[in-house]
A and B are shown apart, each in its own frame.
Chain A
């Protein structure tokens, strides 16, 4: 093989702490503060925590190390994208095409995730200007949220201009693409160094305020009853497969495994750089944000102001109702409530943006490394693509297209990617080679038991999840027997959902064609592998 690509992509992390913050920022997202407390409360409290930590040890942390390992191994050949990383591990013509999933999944998630992220930017602004002040009930705030999303029921009051959600989406997307266009060290790492301390500051302030909230007249509940609501164990739930699957799913979402962003970030490390300690530090930082801070804000606040039964009903309504309706009601009843609202939605915005900027990194690396395009050109071109398809979500939100993409890419797709990764790295690359690769430059030794876990337990656990979700959800959703967002599918939405699926298929076909073109252009030989690039002077 003649080369490892034509791109002039000599990028690297500027510092180790910048790398950790960017990796943790990638992992810490909206799910830490909205999804986790709701899942814990709805799935047996303390019992959920048992299954959650088991999933962390058997799935999350092993997959974290595996993704760092796959990424850094790809970086040896200057491959920051999964087609190249998989081809570096598995010298087979099919490997590069299997890697297409690692380009499509993060691209699809990025498009709709940025739209949700734009809601947090909008509500931070609405908090600062007290725009939603006066909507002091849960129902009132849900109406306000629906007005912003332009999905108000017929005849319901409208509080926003029709262009408002579009303006916030375009602004949020612009910030994302600007950061991406500045590169790894100059954009993503700088954002992480600014965003992560702000995120933790806002979270600590909010958790402190919530924990010392007095019992409200007529309600009588305290924040500590909210914590009881999350942590009280219901041992009878431990026998339910649904609880185990919910906790495994939460571990997936929270650590961003299967998103191919960790692998992309790790590809900018040299083989002298540690990945074992960095990997566990990233996972631990994310878990602190989720378990300690994420569990201490939304649910305890909801219990204090709505009582346990009210909070339970809110939690069943979904994460967005909790974050965008319940919390604003709470803020309106607190001193400096508008500033606390800015802190809450600012926290969610920084959690979101440090994740979303990572999602275009793999596809950016692909175009730079394989076709030699400039970073700025790739970033702004992808921005245009995200704008076109993002507007589809803004315009058709009520027709379930976002839920459809979230299911196939952001839920099922993550497990598919993880299964592929673990099979490639632990079974095809072989356990001994993978283990040795992970320990190059290592600052800590991974306990030997994890070699067994990564080789046998993690793949079987993943295959069980994939099989179960496939049978219970994926097939019925594919057959339009149920909605991706839950409940019965409205037949009127079928054309929109079919169109949304067709776009994902179109992305996948395009990715396969581009991979074929890239391999032909660079004259890669699938059986010989890539030429190693010396990047010992790079990295964190």
Chain B
């Protein structure tokens, strides 16, 4: 394989696999929703608030 093809393949795979592992890592952490009453926040949460 040429270097350019390897770069495109590696970049594509890294992006989709990275996104998949990151999203499932967050899902499997099974955090509580920050919105337990179901009413929803007045404004979108800031980064980090969902960690609590």
Give me the interface of A with B, judged by CB distance under 8 Å.
16-17, 20, 45-46, 49, 53, 224-225, 227-228, 230-233, 270-274, 277-278, 280-281, 283-285, 287-288, 290-292, 435-437, 439-446, 536
Contact B40 A441 (CB under 8 A): yes
Name the B residues within 8 Å of A231 (CB-CB).
Answer: 1, 5-6, 8-9, 12
State which residues 5-24 of B face A: CB under 8 Å: 5-9, 11-13, 15-17, 19-20, 22-24
B4: nearest chain-A partner, CB-CB: A233
Check A46–B8 contact: CB distance below 8 A. Answer: yes
- Size band of the B side of the interface? 35 or more
Q: Indicate if the CB atoms of B19 and A284 lie closer than 8 Å.
A: yes
Q: Are A445 and B44 in contact (CB under 8 A)?
A: yes
Min distance, Cβ A59 to any Cβ of chain B, angstroms? 16
17 contacts between A and B (CB under 8 A): A49-B11, A53-B15, A227-B9, A231-B5, A231-B8, A231-B9, A271-B39, A272-B38, A273-B33, A277-B26, A288-B16, A291-B16, A292-B16, A436-B43, A445-B44, A445-B49, A536-B38
- What residues of chain A lie closer than 8 Å to B4, measured between beta carbons? 46, 232-233
A435 and B1 contacting across the interface, CB-CB below 8 Å: no
A271 touches B27 (CB 8 A): no
Q: Tell me the minimal C-beta distance from A352 to chain B in angstroms.
A: 22
How distant is the Cα of A443 from the Cα of B35 in the complex, in angstroms? 9
CB <8 Å contact, B27 and A20: yes
Q: Is the CB of B35 within 8 A of A441?
A: yes
Residues on A with C-beta less than 8 A from B50 are 442-445
Are the C-beta atoms of B23 and A280 separated by less than 8 Å? Answer: yes
Q: How far is the CA of A17 from the CA of B16 in the complex (A)?
A: 19
Minimum C-beta distance from A250 to chain B (A) = 13
B7's nearest neighbour on chain A, judged by CB, is A46
Min CB gap B15→A, angstroms: 7
State the total of A-B contacts with C-beta under 8 angstroms: 119
A272 touches B20 (CB 8 A): no
Contacts of A287 in B (CB 8 A): 16, 19-20
**Residues of chain B lying within 8 A (CB to CB) of residue A284:** 16, 19-20, 22-23
Q: Is the CB of B38 within 8 A of A225?
A: no
Contact between B5 and A228, CB atoms less than 8 A apart: yes
Contact pick for A440, options B2, B16, B31, B40, CB 8 Å: B40
In the complex, the answer to whether A270 meets B24 with C-beta atoms within 8 Å is no
Bitwise interface map of B from 24 to 42 toward A, beta carbon under 8 Å scored 1, else 0: 1011000101111111111
> Which residues in B have their C-beta under 8 angstroms from that of A271?
38-40
Q: Which residues of B contact A290 (CB under 8 A)?
A: 16
User: Across the interface, do B17 and A272 meet the contact criterion of CB distance under 8 Å?
Assistant: no
Docked pose: A444 CA to B47 CA in angstroms: 8
State whether B33 touches A444 (Cβ < 8 A).
Answer: no
Q: Verify B33–A46 contact, CB threshold 8 A.
A: no
* A-B CB proximity, top 7 nearest: A440-B40, A46-B8, A281-B23, A272-B38, A284-B19, A284-B20, A287-B16
In the complex, are the beta carbons of B1 and A228 less than 8 A apart?
A: yes
CB-CB < 8 A to A274: which residues of B? 33
Query: Of all chain A residues, which has the CB nearest B16?
Result: A287
> A227 with B33: in contact, given A53-B15, A445-B45 (CB under 8 Å)?
no
Cα distance A467–B31 when bound, in Å? Answer: 44
Residues of B within 8 A of A283 (CB): 19
Residues of chain A within 8 A of B45, CB atoms compared: 439, 442, 445
Least CB separation from B30: chain A residue: A16
Residues from chain A with a CB closer than 8 A to the CB of B36 are: 272
Q: Report the separation of the CA atoms of residues A411 and B38 in the bound assembly, to the nearest whole angstrom.
A: 37
B17 to A: closest C-beta gap in Å: 6
Distance (whole angstroms) from the CB of A489 to the closest CB of chain B: 37
- The complex places the Cα of A49 from the Cα of B5 at a distance, in Å, of 11
A232 and B5: CB pair below 8 A? Answer: yes
Taking a contact as CB atoms under 8 Å apart, the answer to whether B26 and A440 are in contact is no
CA distance A273 to B20 in the complex (A): 20
20 more A-B residue pairs beyond the given contacts A287-B16, A440-B41, A442-B33, with a C-beta to C-beta distance below 8 A: A17-B27, A45-B8, A46-B5, A227-B9, A230-B9, A231-B1, A231-B8, A231-B12, A270-B38, A271-B39, A271-B40, A272-B38, A281-B24, A284-B16, A436-B41, A436-B42, A442-B44, A442-B45, A442-B50, A445-B46
**Shortest distance from the beta carbon of B12 to any chain A beta carbon, whole Å:** 5
Which residues of A sit under 8 angstroms from B20, Cβ to Cβ?
281, 284-285, 287-288
What's the nearest-Cβ distance from chain A to residue B39, in Å?
8
A323 → B minimal CB distance (Å): 22
Q: With A and B bound together, what is the CA distance between A441 and B37 in angstroms? A: 9
Q: Which of B8, B16, B17, B34 contacts A233 (CB 8 A)?
A: B8
Chain B residue nearest in CB terms to A443: B50
Bound together, the chains give a CA A446 to CA B46 distance in angstroms of 10
Assess the A442–B35 pair: CB atoms within 8 A. Answer: yes
Q: Answer whether A292 and B17 are a contact pair too, CB < 8 Å, given A49-B12, A231-B12, A272-B35.
A: yes
Q: How far is the CA of A283 from the CA of B35 in the complex (A)?
A: 24
Partner of B2, one of A17, A232, A446: A232
Closest chain B residue to A46 by CB distance?
B8
